[in-house]
Each structure stands twice: as C-alpha cells, then as structure tokens.
C-alpha cells in the first residue's frame, strides 16, 4: 500500500442554537436556515455514531457544539459525553469543537478524556469583520493559544470561498502557521440560500491549489485535512486532493450538510493505493 490517510468523523451534538452572526454559518439562529436544531443529542445516539465512525476506519471523532463558546452547562455535557464515548469506543481519539474556550475549561475537557481541540481561525484577521461582527478574530486566536497552553492537540484551519482576497488567504495560513497546529482542516464555503454571503465562486483547480498552498505554508503540520465542502468543491475529482498535499479527510456527514457514503471514500483510497491510517502518529 501507499501513503496513509487519516480519517475523522464529526458529530453535531448541539445544533443550530448559536446567536452569533457568522455569515457563513447556517447554525446561526439569525438566518433561519432550514436545518435540524436541538439542544443536546442523546448520548446513546452519539455513542452509536462513534461506533459507526470506528467501524468505517476513522481515528478521530469530534464532538461539536454550535454556540459561541463553552458555558458551564455545555462544558458538563461535553465532558459527560466524552467520558461515555471514551469508555464505549476507546479506539477513537476524542476531539472537542466548542468555540471560545478558556485555559481552565480546556483542562477540564482534557481531564474528561478529550485529546484534541478544534477551533478554526476561519479567515484572515483583516477580513474577519466582513463575515462576523459579534466577536473578534483575536478571540479565536487566543482560544488556539489556550489549547496549546493546556497541552491538548491543536486542530485549526479555515474556510476558503467566503469572498476573501488572495492576500487574506495567505494571511490566514501564516497566522495558522504561527500556532503550530497538528492538523489543519481546509473547508470550502458551502452556500445555503438563507445566508447573506454570495455562493462560493472558486473553481476546482483553484481549490486544489489552495490545498497545495496550505501544505507549503504550514509544512510542519502532520495533517492537511480536507473537510467541509469537499464533495461540492471537487465532485468526481476528489481523488486529486491527495496529489496536492492533503493526507486526511472528514468522512460521513458534516454539521448541517451531507457527505458522501463512506464506502465511496474507502473505495477511492483503495483505488489510489492509499492506506487508511491505523494510528494517530
């Protein structure tokens, strides 16, 4: 077999309850997008999703909440969930993605069995106010610094196709590099008609070059992960992402959009002589 590809699955454990105004996000209550909304997914359902992810070859399993950040109630729910999932599906590396987090909150997650924390910068510091006005970019950067300080694995990336300039893309990647993330999720804006942003106008060739740029700018990252928008952006050319520096993908469904059937991804990797990673190293 050839190189190894890391598979990660995400689980939306709290959906569509966020009061922030991020223009790219259908989970904001402000835009009234037609999505599923719920406060807390039953833990037994989360465990079932975790087992399915493991059986499909995923090593990472991400517990995602939709609010701006962690409060006491959300922190308890994520910790309770993490403890159960860790016991029931110990093969998975648990990742939390819960927005703004303090150093102390991150230590609490770590004690509950969370190994990594995902918090994306989304775009450049200069462009951020064009897509979100209810919290600053600096808050995102600080949370990533807190992740490193807490000794958790940092996962941080961004979104391309929001209307940003080429300079914004380079700036975001340079900021990510300064944080030394282990994994960099690269997302492509998937338009929802309820959102204010214009549809993504990137071509497939441009998107592939952005994967290459991400790898070249952040060479020390263990993983460049193609995440949200993969199916929409690349269509029948998804197999090409690995030629441009990607070595990880999200499998299964995303937060509010569907991914493709996991068997298709596994078949793609087999055809490319790429091996599914069996360990995080």
Domain boundaries defined on the chain: 4-276
pLDDT, mean over the chain: 88
Read off the pLDDT of residues 221-274 as tens digits, 9 standing for 90 and up. 999 999 988 888 898 999 999 999 999 999 875 554 555 678 889 999 999 999
Q: What is the spatial distance between Cα 184 and Cα 194, in angstroms, rounded to a whole number?
A: 28
Among 135, 143, 137, residue whose Cα is nearest residue 118: 143
Among 30, 107, 25, residue whose Cα is nearest residue 66: 25
pTM to 2 decimals? 0.93
Q: Which CATH topology does 4-276 take? A: TIM Barrel (3.20.20)
Q: What is the mean pLDDT of residues 47-68?
A: 90
**pLDDT, greater one: 216 or 3:** 216
Q: What is the spatial distance between Cα 101 and Cα 114, in angstroms, rounded to a whole number?
A: 14
Among 170, 241, 228, 240, residue whose Cα is nearest residue 200: 228
Which of 66-70, 98-102, 177-181 is predicted least confidently? 66-70
Q: What is the mean pLDDT of residues 39-45?
A: 85
Read off the pLDDT of residues 16-37 as tens digits, 9 standing for 90 and up. 565 666 566 555 555 555 556 6
Read off the pLDDT of residues 166-207 as tens digits, 9 standing for 90 and up. 999 999 999 999 999 999 999 998 766 666 777 778 999 999
Q: What is the mean pLDDT of residues 118-139?
A: 91
Q: What is the spatial distance between Cα 251 and Cα 7, in angstroms, rounded to a whole number?
A: 6
**pLDDT, greater one: 69 or 155:** 155
Among 135, 60, 63, 70, residue whose Cα is nearest residue 102: 70
Among 188, 187, 189, residue whose Cα is nearest residue 197: 189
**What is the structure's pLDDT at 1?**
39
**What is the structure's pLDDT at 131?**
85
């Amino acid at each position: 077999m050839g190189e190894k590809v890391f598979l990660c699955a995400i689980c939306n454990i709290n959906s569509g309850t966020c009061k922030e105004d991020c223009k790219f996000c259908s989970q904001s209550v402000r835009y009234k997008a037609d999505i599923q909304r719920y406060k807390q997914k039953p833990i037994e359902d989360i465990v079932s999703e975790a087992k399915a992810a493991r059986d499909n070859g995923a090593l990472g399993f991400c517990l995602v909440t939709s609010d701006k950040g962690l409060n006491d109630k959300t922190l308890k729910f994520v910790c309770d969930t993490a403890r159960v999932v860790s016991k029931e599906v110990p093969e998975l590396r648990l990742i939390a993605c819960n927005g703004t987090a303090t150093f102390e909150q991150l230590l609490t997650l770590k004690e509950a069995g969370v190994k990594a924390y995902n918090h994306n910068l989304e775009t450049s510091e200069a462009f951020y106010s064009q897509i979100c006005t209810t919290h600053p970019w600096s808050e995102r950067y600080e949370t990533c610094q807190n992740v490193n300080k807490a000794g958790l694995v940092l996962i941080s990336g961004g979104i391309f196709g929001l209307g940003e300039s080429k300079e914004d893309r380079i700036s975001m990647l340079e900021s990510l590099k300064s944080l030394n993330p282990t994994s960099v999720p690269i997302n492509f804006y998937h338009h929802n008609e309820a959102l204010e942003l214009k549809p993504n106008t990137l071509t497939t060739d441009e998107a592939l070059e952005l994967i290459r740029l991400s790898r070249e700018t952040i060479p020390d990252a263990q993983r460049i992960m193609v995440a949200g928008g993969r199916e929409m952006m690349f269509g029948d050319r998804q197999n090409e992402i690995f030629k441009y520096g990607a070595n990880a993908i999200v499998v299964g469904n995303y937060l509010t959009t569907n991914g493709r059937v996991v068997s298709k991804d596994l078949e793609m990797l087999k055809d490319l002589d790429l091996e599914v990673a069996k360990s995080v190293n």
